Amino acid sequence: MKLTELTIAAARDGLAAGEFTSVELTAANLSAMENTRDLNAFVCETAEKAQDMAAASDVRRARGADLGAMEGIPIAVKDLFCTEGVRATACSHILDGFTPPYESTVTTNLWDAGAVMLGKTNMDEFAMGSSNMSSYDGPVTNPWRAGDDGAKLVPGGSSGGSAAAVAARMAMGATGTDTGGSIRQPGAFCGVVGMKPTYGRCSRWGVIAFASSLDQAGPLTRTVQDAAIMLGAMAGHDPKDSTSVNESVPDFEAALTGDIKGLRVGVPKEYVVDGMPGEIGELWRRGVDWLKDAGAQIVDISLPHTKYALPAYYIIAPAEASSNLARYDGVRYGLRVEGDSLQDMYANTRSEGFGAEVKRRLMIGAYVLSAGYYDAYYLKAQKVRARIAQDFHDAWETVDVVLTPTAPSAAFAQGEKMDDPIAMYLNDVFTVPASLAGLPAISVPAGLSSDGLPLGLQIIGRPFDEETMFRVAGVMEREAAFTAHPMTGEA
Ligand code: GLN
């Protein structure tokens, strides 16, 4: 088998058995990156750094030193993570040339666990979007194509480059961030596993902020087991992030027992939405059957405030973004466009530096936070958010996990939905509720659409119970037996 086809778990075993070195594994991924540049998944390749890190890992192994959980495994990093000495621009013009002098906690944890950095991946500007079309570095092309149709498809967003890189076998795993679905939705669109942990599980320190009460880092990988391994390395308490929770990190991989007998799986009736293709509903029903056949108990549940999740999210996230992005003023970092006065310089920098989607969010955010509208919009949205969290809280009385589709469609063509922001926002209808409630959730590739495109199913878990979520996801992955390959469509 080609080295780039290996899972993280298999590569770990191969490295341990001396079948190949990290230098070889890394070289294989670097050459796949070179050969697949047309997808535009990477915005920065750090080949030299990768080779050095891989060589250092091989030396550690030869010495028999303490080996980390990701020892020698080459991965990609979303451009939202600050990486010391390597560009971090959130794929925005306004952060042009920004090279952080420090490393985010999550990436530090990964390097401490032995992982090797391949480069930075493309994303929607400031992680706002569901298609990767808003990147200043240009769109990412999904490695999957629909049937005979040659149209280029979006990889989903905002972690589109990370999902495409993992799907196209350029990286064994990648970091993503998820504010309202940005790991899970691109995972579903690219046929890979995308996992968002409980809010507070991974440190946000050094992750360029979008909406701080929602942002969470998580892994994109080709299997559930790989997601468990990689999350274990990313997670942990960090005193530098006051919202990082002081909980010990369980052995997520050990949770994959394959046994879900007696577990209660909730199926929420509100997740049937207008206009959803029939095949998504069918896949969802198949998912229910798989889990039932594996011994789980299926429970019909109601999450009554679901329909308010999307409107609440599109008030809260822009509100927080408008506050977080106020710091980009041309003074401290990135782009600066001079003007006649200080005010002009601010205005010129911000109007040239931000793209259309970011500006839309900043205007919505400033509006809903303004005196006179605060109570009507922002405060109301916060109350709705509390109701949504309460819905899940009530559901946990009768179920252990919740099963839903990940997205209401398969990947769509580049350029589609661009003139209709609301249509774009509707992509997040199934992912946003878990984000508002701070819950862990994972998208598992579960089948192909009639056009041959991957579709995902989502498992949502209790707060800080990633283990049960992983356990169910592992069983679903086994039952779905998704083996299709993006480039060829074949197993
Ligand atoms: N698509 C959502 C948005 O545009 C989610 C983005 C994200 O999770 N970062 O806000």
Selected catalytic residue, list 158, 159, 244, 435: 158
Ligand 1 atom with minimal separation from the 357 CA: 4
Whether the Cβ atoms of residue 182 and residue 435 lie closer than 8 Å to each other = no
Choice among 131, 135, 162, 182 that is catalytic: 182
State the distance from the centre of ligand 1 to the C-alpha of 150, rounded, in angstroms. Answer: 27
> Phi, psi (5° rounding) for residue 417?
65, 5
The pTM of the full predicted model, rounded to 2 decimals, is 0.97
In a domain, 311, yes or no: yes
The pLDDT score that the predictor gives to residue 147 is 77
Residue 260 in domain: no
Number of domains present in the structure of the chain: 1
CA distance 163 to 190: 6
Does residue 246 fall inside a structural domain?
Answer: no
314 inside domain: yes
For the Cβ of 317 lying below 6 angstroms from any atom of ligand 1, the answer is yes
CB-ligand 1 contact for 319 (6 Å cutoff): no
Compute, in angstroms, the gap from residue 275 CA to the centroid of ligand 1: 21
Distance CA 353, CA 360 (A): 13
Verify whether ligand 1 is closer than 6 Å to residue 127 (CB atom). yes
At 72, list the tokens: 């020698």
Half-sphere exposure of 366 toward its Cβ, with a 13 Å CA cutoff? 7
Q: Is 240 a catalytic residue?
A: no
Pull the structure tokens for residue 375.
């109570």
Would residue 409 count as lying in a domain?
no
Q: Is residue 358 lining ligand 1, measured as CB closer than 6 Å?
A: no
pLDDT value for 439: 98
Residue 202 tokens read as 């991974």
The position carrying tokens 């970092």 is 333
> What is the distance between the alpha carbons of residues 217 and 198, in angstroms, rounded to a whole number?
10
Evaluate: CB of 253 within 6 angstroms of ligand 1: no
Distance CA 95, CA 330 (A): 9
Beta partners for residue 86, in sequence order: 83
Residue 130 Cβ < 6 Å to ligand 1: yes
Residue 325 belongs to some domain of the structure:
yes
Residues with Cβ within 8 Å of 390's Cβ and at least 6 positions away in sequence, in order, are 305
Is residue 207 lining ligand 1, measured as CB closer than 6 Å? Answer: no
Dihedral pair phi/psi, residue 225, rounded to 5°? -60, -45
Q: Which atom of ligand 1 is nearest to the CA of 178?
A: 8
CA–CA separation, 152 vs 137, rounded Å?
A: 17
- pLDDT in the model for residue 343: 97
Q: Is 131 in the pocket of ligand 1 (CB under 6 A)?
A: no
Residue at 335 is within a domain: yes
Average pLDDT per consecutive 10 residues, the chain (491 residues; last block may be shorter): 95 98 98 97 98 98 93 98 98 97 98 98 98 98 86 96 98 98 98 98 98 98 98 98 96 98 98 90 98 98 97 98 97 95 98 98 97 95 98 98 97 92 90 98 97 97 98 98 78 47
The residue to which tokens 């409980």 are assigned: 198
Find the 179 Cα to ligand 1 centroid distance in Å: 6
Residue ranges making up the domain that contains 374: 307-382
Cα–Cα nearest to 36, from 120, 141, 172, 131:
141
Is 182 in the active site? yes
Is residue 337 situated within a structural domain? yes
Distance from residue 129's CA to the centre of ligand 1 (Å): 5
pLDDT of amino acid 488: 53
CA of 463 to the centre of ligand 1 (A): 21
The protein residue with its alpha carbon nearest to ligand 1, atom 4, reads: 129
Beta bridge partners of 459: 403, 442
Ligand 1 atom 10, closest CA: 128
Contact by Cβ (8 Å): 405, 398: no
Q: Which of 78, 120, 196, 417 is catalytic?
A: 78
Is 380 a catalytic site residue?
no
Alpha helices, H only, 340-379: 342-353, 356-369
